Amino acid sequence: MEQGFFRVVSRAGFLDLLRRFPAVDAQRLPISRAFGRVLAEDVAAPEDLPLADRSCMDGFAVRAADLFGAGEGSPVQLARVADVAVEAFPEFTLAPGQCAWIPTGGCLPAGADAVIMVEFSEALAAGTVEMRKAVAPGENVMRRGEDAKSGEPALRAGTRLRAQEIGLLAALGVTEAAVSARPRAVILSTGDEVRPVEARIGPGQVRDVNSHALSCLIEEAGGEPKARGIVADELDALVAAIKAALAESDLVLLSGGSSVGVRDLTMQALGRFPDSEVLAHGVAMSPGKPTILARVGGKPFLGLPGQIASAQVVMLVLGRPLVRHLCGDRAAFDELLRPMRRAELSRNLASKHGREDYVRVRLESRPGRPPLAVPVLGKSGLLRTLLDCQGLIAVPADLEGLYAGSEVDVWLI
């Protein structure tokens, strides 16, 4: 293993390193259980969708050419020769001068190429309908195959399945799909003062907050958390715990692994694995600076700050994209989809040039104006600052701060 030097990278550089890891294995799931998963393969449409030209409106199926020049002052009369039922395919052909009532979703009869909305028609006596508007060919018609064409890819590998993608699969009669498994993330906590949540503790001890909070963040990112408890701050114990973690996971998180004492121990422990490489030992962001990224046995290993507030920022900024990337999500690093809220900064914020600063803020709504983003400052070890905040402001590395009154984008967390 390369060792003995510090490789501090930018946040963008860190994210680039994450791209080196391959996606986890795929599994086949029924679509009722695939919501939020990422497609592992292209899905070809087994048939056209829709299966026939269908109406988008309640109205009349017509031949567009018949209504050329029609308008309020120059209505055109057509013979109403049939009514299409929504569930039945019409067996007749529409001849010139004819129209047929058609409901939303009804199939167009042969000969018809457009639908005129019922609002622009008036029924006259004896099966005649007056049309008061021209329509273009194809108007108000969903064309056969317009959503998906038989044999062509309807959805691409790497697509995260939202409600609408699940809906498309249902529409195509695709009842199961190959999706990525949820990446299994083993979470290890370190710290001689850290005790399990169930334990009674003395004043020198704290309970294992991070295993629980990080499990939530892994779950939210689409992974499967496996909290494996507390490891003693001791080399052999740490090596054994990492080895066991690698055997049952796609990703290992060591919480506290970047604190001053444990960091050295972590580096030593990683050095015990012949196929390990430290990719980053520090990232130019705050909080989160001492984060470690290594590859061990081909798998990613993240050493996270022990302070939960710092660990949470690292998970959001670096850990979540990693989990999504391991899912094969092609939008894993797309910051366009971060949930943001525009707000006005309530006070000046100083920031150190050369690193990205993430500042916790509380949002206060104000009628008729953008909400106010109020920085939640406080001692770094307290949970209170996390509880009181709704989002983060990122102060870019090339700025030395932001002024009160600035418009900021708050990342909702």
Q: Tell me the C-alpha distance between 8 and 288, whole Å.
A: 12
Which runs of E-coded beta strand occur in 119-268? 121-123, 128-131, 141-142, 153-155, 176-180, 184-190, 194-195, 206-207, 224-231, 251-255
Q: What minimum distance in Å lies between the beta carbon of 259 and its own copies?
A: 7
DSSP label at residue 172: T
Q: Which residue has the tokens 């892994």?
A: 218
Stretch that binds its own copies, among 234-242, 287-295, 331-339, 344-352 (CB under 8 A): 331-339
Q: Near its own copies by CB under 8 A, which window of 64-72, 254-262, 285-293, 320-328? A: 254-262
Alpha-carbon distance of 191 to 95, in angstroms, equals: 83
Contact predicate 177/273, CB 8 Å: no
Residue 75 or 303 with smaller CB distance to its own copies? 303
C-alpha 276/C-alpha 284 separation (Å) is: 23
65 binds its own copies, rule: CB under 8 A: no
Which one, of 32, 37, 319, 320, lies nearest residue 155 by Cα? 37
d(CA 165, CA 172): 11
Q: What is the pattern of x (binds its own copies, CB under 8 A) and - over residues 40-59?
A: ---------xxxx-x-x-x-
Closest to its own copies by CB, 79 or 386: 386
Site for its own copies in 262-301 (CB under 8 A): none
212 contributes a contact to its own copies by CB under 8 A: yes
Sorted by sequence, the CB contacts under 8 Å of residue 199 that are 6+ apart come out as 205, 207
Q: Which of 205, 264, 401, 405 binds its own copies (CB under 8 A)?
A: 205
Residues 132-171 that bind its own copies (CB under 8 A): 140-142, 146-147, 155, 162-171
Pull the structure tokens for residue 35. Answer: 């919501």
Residues 6+ apart with CB under 8 A from 341: 363, 371, 391, 409, 410, 412
Q: By CB under 8 A, is residue 259 in contact with its own copies?
A: yes
CB of 345 to its own copies, least distance (A): 15
Query: What's the full length of the chain, in residues?
Result: 413
377, 382, 399, 404: residue in contact with its own copies (rule CB under 8 A):
382
The answer to whether 111 contacts its own copies (rule: CB under 8 A) is no
Give the nearest distance from C-beta 388 to its own copies in angstroms: 9
Report the residue from 228, 272, 330, 341 that binds its own copies according to the rule CB under 8 A. 341
Report the residue number, 75 or 371, with the smaller CB distance to its own copies: 371
Q: Does 344 bind its own copies (CB under 8 A)?
A: no
Of 24, 94, 135, 172, the one binding its own copies by CB under 8 A:
172
**Residues 44, 75: Cα–Cα separation, whole Å:** 45
Is residue 339 part of the contact set for its own copies (CB under 8 A)?
A: yes
Q: Report the residue from 1, 35, 228, 352 that binds its own copies according to the rule CB under 8 A.
A: 35
Nearer to its own copies, 125 or 336 (CB): 336
